[in-house]
Structure formats: C-alpha cells, structure tokens
Chains A and B, each alone.
Chain A
Amino acid sequence: MLLNIISKELKRVFSDRRLVISTFVIPAISIYVLYSLMGNMMGNVLGDIERHTSIVYVSNAPQSFSNYFDTVKDTYNMEVDFGDYDKNEFTERIRSGEVDLLVEFEDQFDAKVASYSDSNQSPEIMTFSNPSEDYSNEAKNNFVFDILEGYEKEILTDRFGNINYVKAFDVDATNQESAILDEKKAAASGLGMIVPMILAIILFAGAMGIGMDTIAGEKERGTMATLLLTPIPRETIALGKVIGLGIVAIISAACSFGAIIASLPNMLSSFGGEGVGPIGLSFSILQYVQLFVIMITLVGIYVGLICLISVRARSVKEAGTYMAPIYMIIMIAAFSTMFSKSGGVALYKFAIPVYGSVTAIKEMFSFELSLMEFGVTSGVSIIVTAIIIKLITKTFNDEKVMFNA
C-alpha cells in the first residue's frame, strides 16, 4: 500500500516534464554556473596570494633561528625583518593588512630550549596575524607549518638526536591575541562555510515547489478526497506522501550536489581560510555516511513541513503564502550558522532543528564534528519529522481542514 502511494507520487513527478525541469535541471545548472564563477573568482585571488610577497616581522629572534632561516629563506616569497618590535604598535598595521605577520620569540629562547624538560614550561613563540586577510593567513600558515616546523625538527635533532623525542617549543600556547580579526570579514571568509548553507537551502527549495504542486494542488483540484475515500489508513497516506516527496527532494539535491562536484575542478584549489578543510577528496567513509544521514534527516523535516503546510492550505496559492515565512526561517537558520566559528559550538545548538543540521555539516567540513554532536543532530531531526508526520495524519482526519467543514 505504502509502495503504491510512493510510486504514484514518483510517477507523478517524473512523468511531468515541467516538474522535472523545474526541480532537477534548473537548480543543478544554476549551481554549476554559480559555483564555477565563484571558483574562478577564488582562483584569481589565490594566484594573487601566491605572487604576493609576505611582509613579516620577527621580534627577539634567537641566533639559532636566524641561522636556520638563512638556509631556507630562498624557498619562501617572504620579506622578513628581524629586530625588536612592540606588539601593540603592530596590531593596527596587521588589522589593516599593511603587515601580514608578526612573530615574537620569548626572551632567552635558546637558553630555555636548552634547559627545557617535561617538568617546566616549554618556551613559546607567539604569532600575530589576521585570519580574515588571505595574505596574512597564507604568511602565517607558511611560517608556522613550514618554517617553524623545520626549525623545531632541527633543534630536536641537534639537542636530542631524535625528532620524535619531545617538542622543543610551543606556538601560541598562551597567546590569546594571535588572531587580529576584522570580525565581519572573518565570518564571511572561506567557501567551505557557504557550501553547507547553500546545500541546506537548495534542499528546501527543491522540495518546496514540487510539494506545493503535488499536495496543495491535489487538495485544490479535489483529488485528495478521492484518496481519503479508499480504505487506506491515513498514516500510510501521510507517510507515502512524505517519503515520495523526500525521494524527490533527495534526487533534486543529488543533482545539485552533482553540479557542485562538477564545478569542483574550478574551485577545489580555492578552498582556504581558517578551519576549512578541502572538500570531497579527503573525507573518510564515516564522514560520507554522516553527511548522508544528516542530509536525509534534514530532508525529513523539510518535506514534513512542506507536506503539512500544503495539506493545511486550501490552495496552492495559500500554501505559497504560508511557505514564504517558513522559507525565510530556513534561510535565516542556515545563514546564521555562518557567524558561528567552527569548533567549540555548544552541544545544545545541535539540538535546534535545521540550524543544528547545517552547523553539523559545517563542522563536518572542518573535521570538527564529534559523534555526540552528530547523534544529537540526527536524533532531533528524526523526532521532529515523526511529530510532523503525526500532525499530517491528524490533519487528514480534520474535516474542518480537509472539507472546510
């Protein structure tokens, strides 16, 4: 019975050229075009970053570092000034982008490294950069992950004869002011933050049009009552509609997702920025499964909401009126995840429907989604979907809504 209803819903959509084009083809094409354009833009920026000579100031550098740097400096496109600099003076210059990076070594650095043992504090190197500036970011990444890493290896081999032995120093262990941010810019940086959001919105948009058309339209055209006269339990009808529309939404999202993948070569190189991992290539199986589950459960909420509204509305037009604010709320929930920094998101936020799912996808892209957070998000979505299906069933039995009586 359930299968009959689902298959009818699918046949309805897939045999209608107008619906196929508006649900699957147009969104996919627009995403491909949009992302390719974005990718090209980002690509241009990236090439520019590579050509840019980083302006770096190193304060209080020990002899061992200047010696090490001399041996590697030719590999970096970096203009480094050694000296004794006041951090406060540099804050504004870094924020404005005039200087890309300030590095400050602790006093007596060499001596402290020499006497360092597990029992006392390791010496610290502090860096100050602006994560919202691509140049600054690039300079910091090069300096910390390449130069300082190499420097540390050299110290360790020199002092201990074994690079795996212990660490020689900390970078920014106590430094609270490492990131000198321009808040607004920081929030918007990184395409990886935008992808989950766009995904969340296209999923809804894809299901919305078709849901209104097939369900509110069915009621408006009088075909729903025919269905309600059959001896099929209302629950089955509700579930069949939700699953049918869910499949459509997922296929629609898959088309859009395929478009994202297709545009990936244009933009893979352009993923950068704080806490944003490369997309697509380095995901583990577990992460793909998580992404799939989060998306499916999110689709459950979406499709449930769309069905519920469409069933309650008297006409497609009325459904559209009710749908607009819901669409707004979904967009706001999706957009607002942009302003949360990745990592360290409070657990309760994952329990907020929609918002939690988008946050989870975002955290997943930056490899910071814990199993607990994943569980909370998907669990809440499943519960919400179940409640909505219950409400749809109730609506089918509500003669005031179904027959205006």
Chain B
Amino acid sequence: MKLTIPGEELMGHGNLSCQGCGGSLAMRYALKALGRDTIAVIPACCWSIIDGPFPYSCLKIPVFHTAFETAASAASGVSAAMKIKGKKTTVLAWAGDGGTFDIGIQALSGAAERGDNIIYICYDNEAYMNTGIQRSSATPYGAWTTTTPAKKFKSAPKKNMVEIMVAHKIPYTATACIAYPEDFIKKIKKAKGFQGTKYIQVLAPCPTGWRYDPAKTIELSKMAVESGIYPLYEVENGIYKISRKAKNKTVKEYIKMQGRFSHLTGEVIDEMQKNVDKEWELLIRKEEFYGHTKE
C-alpha cells in the first residue's frame, strides 16, 4: 500500500493535549512533512504545555521554548545560526493565533520583510486557549470567549492574517486544515523548497474552547472548509490558487455544532453567511485575476 502521509512519527504518545485537540494533530502532520532535520521554536501557547513538562518532551526534534511575542524573531536567530554554521536544518516557528495575529505580529512582520529563512506555522484555534479561552484577533465575529461574553460577543471580524502575510510579498503563504492532512503536508513540503519566510496557517479546532464534542474535531474542521469559512488556498510568489473549490455547506451548519456560537440569532447568522459568500467570491476573483483557475 502506498502511504499518502509519511509514516515516520516524530511526535510521541505522551503529549499533554486535551481530547480532540486540533493543535496536536497539526504538529504531528507538520513534523511528518518536515522530517528530523528540523528545530522548532515555540512561544507561549498550548504547545508550551502539550510538549510535556520538564524533563519530558514529546517531540523527537529539538524544541526551543521562547517568550510569547518572539516566535519569529527567535526563529530568525536560530536560522542565522544555522546559516553561519553551514547547516541546512529547517527552522520552524510554531505559534498559536494569539502569538501570531496579536502579540507576535511585529516580530513576524519584521522577519517576513527581511526574508529570514524560516517556516512559520500558525495553528489557529481562534482564541487564547492556553490561558482559558480569551479572544484573539483570530476569533471570528460572533464568537463567545471569556473576554467577549455572550452578551457582548466578539463584534470585530477575524483579522485576515493570511492577506497580511501575502502583502509582505513573501514567496509562499498558504492556509490548511487538519482535516486535509495530505494538502497540509504538501504545502509544508512546498514551503520547505523556498528560501525566505514562509507562512502557513492551519485551522486547528479546540473542543475545550469552541464547546463541542471532542469526537467531532475532524467533522467540524471539514465543515469549516466546506462552508468556505476557512478556505484552503495558497499564494505562491503572488499567484493565488484555491486548493479546494467546492463550497457546499452553510455557516449555520458549521456554527450549530459549537457552543461558542449558541447565543447567535438568525439575523446575525444571515449576516455572517453574507460575509462568507463575499469573501469567497473575492478569493475566486483573486485567483482568476492571476489566470490560474485550472485544478
């Protein structure tokens, strides 16, 4: 049988993630794509805990824990060290959405503008989960978190970090989702082929924070993509390419499964649907603009 996903496991069993954690699956796949010659730089996030307490680490690659706001810049330093030592080791900055969209955006923007040779993967669970579900700028419109209580739910839209990275004109930017591991792995391998800063944002649902049955992580992840809420696409040297074209689920179906949206009324949901449709349309236009519509 031909495996579509590399067989080697670089993440051990004894990790400390919650049941149904999307972020731990994301790491497992990422390391399968990157292989052993990789160093991970991890800022404060759930993964600071998931990796295991001293003296344990569930990852079979070196891990450098760093301060919350410094994933990209610390990775830039490790990358410079690899360069001067003449090593080809991949430097992976692995951060949550808070560490990427919010407190770490300055460091990431700096690295991207300089073109520092790192792969930056943001596992996006759409809130600060490590500290117990506070909003981040990746939290979608309408969501409940502990700092956006249902009565005053998140009223700003999710920051479009992917487009911010595209605007840096880095060689490769992509979105991914843990329910599509082949696609995710292909994108990481592609990223590895480029010199410079590469950014991949992978949707990694969090049953604890999103309030759904941990058994449904994959189902829900799929639905995020199928509804067009989290479209899979890549931007290679400015050229857009949508990885999965079909859009056949609704916002309603997607949010129905999650407690974090349970307070929303029909009107708000309709509004959300309109926005998703508009964004999807915009993405298709971008792809068309570059004339790369063939699948």
A and B, one complex? no
Question: Which B residues have a C-beta under 8 Å from some C-beta of A?
Answer: none
